[in-house]
Amino acid sequence: MLFVPGDRPDLAVKAPRSAPHVVVLDLEDAVPPAGKVTARDSMREAVDRLTGLVAVCVRVNPPTTPWFLDDVAALPDGLLAVVVPKLESKAQHREACQALDGRPIVAGIETVRGAVDARHLLDPPVVACYFGAEDYVADLGGIRTASNDEVAVPRSLVAIAARLAGIPALDMVTLDFGDEERFVREAREARALGYAGKICIHPAQVRYADDAFRPSLEEVEWAHRLLTAFDRVGGVTIAFEGQMVDEVVAARARAILAAVEDQ
């Protein structure tokens, strides 16, 4: 997901060049309070200009803000989903569902309460979610570090909750868009945790995300070798390249090959 300020249709129209899977026009963090009202018209212009080029979502302001309902009323047709940030209670989930009247929702899990209760916030029509580390740490009163130790637990909780809900989860933002090494490291961590993708805030990050979440050539070759050996003996436990391999390991190999086919 590549996020673009909702009040900048000039930037939005350039977003497809980096080939993101989805472009998100952001009415929340990317737009200051004084610009919230006029940003809705700019957002609609951007949607018109992106239609047919890339899948588009819009991130509205949270249900707890005075802008939420007017944001929802301004949403155009044809969106892939509506991103609702900072969901943290079943009451907010119900409010968002009622206001959006069945539209698919991408839920932002970005607070301490939201992370702890994430499992209860991902019912339909939520079709995906993301973890927001920056807002989480601000809510916690902690300190943001490059190690990500302070978000290790909530980051895992969101991925687990998404798995139980049967929806994809997107990993947190890497704010320093010039730090390729950190972005790639975090994306690989996220993939290991079960995340399906990553939020990008700069077009250059899209390619790094694609590379990090795509199974490597070594993984694909390993999966082919393992499944060939495993299937040859009828799916019973075998010793393979120094490891004991059973159906669980074979299932992981199949998932790797399925991920390649999907991409």
- The sign of the dihedral angle between the CA atoms of 136, 138, 142, 146 is positive
pLDDT in tens, 85-126: 999 999 999 999 999 999 999 999 999 999 999 999 999 999
**Tens digits of per-residue pLDDT, 46-80?**
999 999 999 999 999 999 999 999 999 999 999 99
Instruction: For residues 82 and 25, give the distance between their C-alpha atoms in angstroms, rounded to a whole number.
Output: 10
Over residues 180-202, mean pLDDT: 95
Ranges of CATH 3.20.20.60 domains, the chain: 2-213
What's the half-sphere exposure (Cβ side, CA atoms, 13 Å) at 252? 9
β-pairing, 243-245 vs 238-240, is antiparallel
In this structure, of 21-25, 146-150, 168-172, 245-249, the range with the lowest mean pLDDT score is 245-249
Q: Give the predicted TM-score (pTM) of the model.
A: 0.86
CB 142 within 8 A of CB 150: yes
Structure tokens that stand for 237 in this block: 């436990």
Quote the pLDDT of residue 111. Answer: 98
Q: Which amino acid is at 166?
A: G
Cβ-proximal residues to 181 (8 Å cutoff; 6+ apart), any chain: none
Whole-angstrom distance, CA of residue 75 vs CA of residue 79: 8
- The whole-number pLDDT of residue 76 equals 97
Rounded Cα distance between 172 and 169, Å, is 10
Architecture of domain 2-213: Alpha-Beta Barrel (3.20)
pLDDT of amino acid 72: 98
